[in-house]
Amino acid sequence: MTDGELVRRTVAGESAAYGELARRWYYRILAFCQARLMTSQIHDAEDLVQEVLIRGFADLDSLSNPENFGAWLRGVAKHVCVDWIRHRQRIPRIVPVDAASADSLSVTQTEIIVASDERAVVLQEIAAIPEDLREAILLHYYEDLTYDQMAQWLGVARATVNERLARARALLRIRLSVLRSDL
């Protein structure tokens, strides 16, 4: 069933159809929000995704082309993130220090931390890389999209997707190696 059909069913009162839209777009919106919040605290991003989807439902009547639901929801997410960031700007935030760069360190062997809390460590390091790389890497692993699908969602060229993933992995390779060497 296409997005357009699900939107029309939702508008007609079939809330289960909106559940399907939520499942379909959840991780793409999560990657979007998580990339913009600059936080390793994933629950903040998850809260925002829920807010995006609820606001999306409330505003569904303003969606002129139901087939364009994904891109439209991305616009809703942008507004929700901006509101959240404006609110948080009044608070001193923990800003990741991006000391390592692909050019400044030479790493010959990457040892990946395999502890049970690996997820939190990885999220923390992802939060410290640039926003465009962050979204690409999250999107790739959450959704397993092809380069063409990612390019369409992000609005960039296919080669740019390849480049962003390569740069993100290069930075994470170094950051996780440095972390490992500190133990």
The three-class DSSP label of residue 109 is: coil
Q: How far is the CB of 49 from another protein (least distance, A)?
A: 8
Residue 181 structure tokens: 């060497």
CB of 153 to another protein, least distance (A): 15
- The residue (of 26 and 74) whose beta carbon lies closer to another protein is 26
Report the Cα 132 to chain-centroid distance in Å.
Answer: 10
In the complex, minimum distance from the CB of residue 5 to another protein, in angstroms, rounded to a whole number: 18
Q: Which residues of 42-80 are buried (b: 16+ CB within 10 A; e: fewer)?
A: beebeebbebbbebbeeebeebeebeebeebbbebbeeb
Binding of another protein by 178 (CB under 8 A): no
In three-state secondary structure terms, 32 is helix
Smallest separation, CB 91 to another protein (Å): 5
Measure the CA–CA gap between 67 and 131, rounded to whole angstroms: 28
The angle at the Cα of 110, spanning 104 to 116, to the nearest 5 degrees, equals 125
Per CB under 8 A, 85 contacts another protein: no
176 touching another protein, by CB under 8 A: yes
* CB nearer another protein, residue 36 or residue 140: 140
Q: Given the complex with another protein, which of 155 and 182 has the nearer CB atom?
A: 182
DSSP 146: -
Query: 146 phi and psi, to 5 degrees?
Result: -75, 165
For residues 30 and 157, what is the distance between their CA atoms, to the nearest angstrom?
A: 22
**What is the x/- site pattern for another protein, positions 89-108, by CB under 8 A?**
-xxxxxxxx-x-------xx
Q: According to CB under 8 A, which residues from 109 to 168 bind another protein? A: 109-115, 117-124, 137-138, 140-143, 146-147, 162-163, 165-166
17 to 76, contacts with another protein by CB under 8 A?
18-19, 22-23, 26-27, 40-43, 46-47, 49-51, 53-55, 57-61
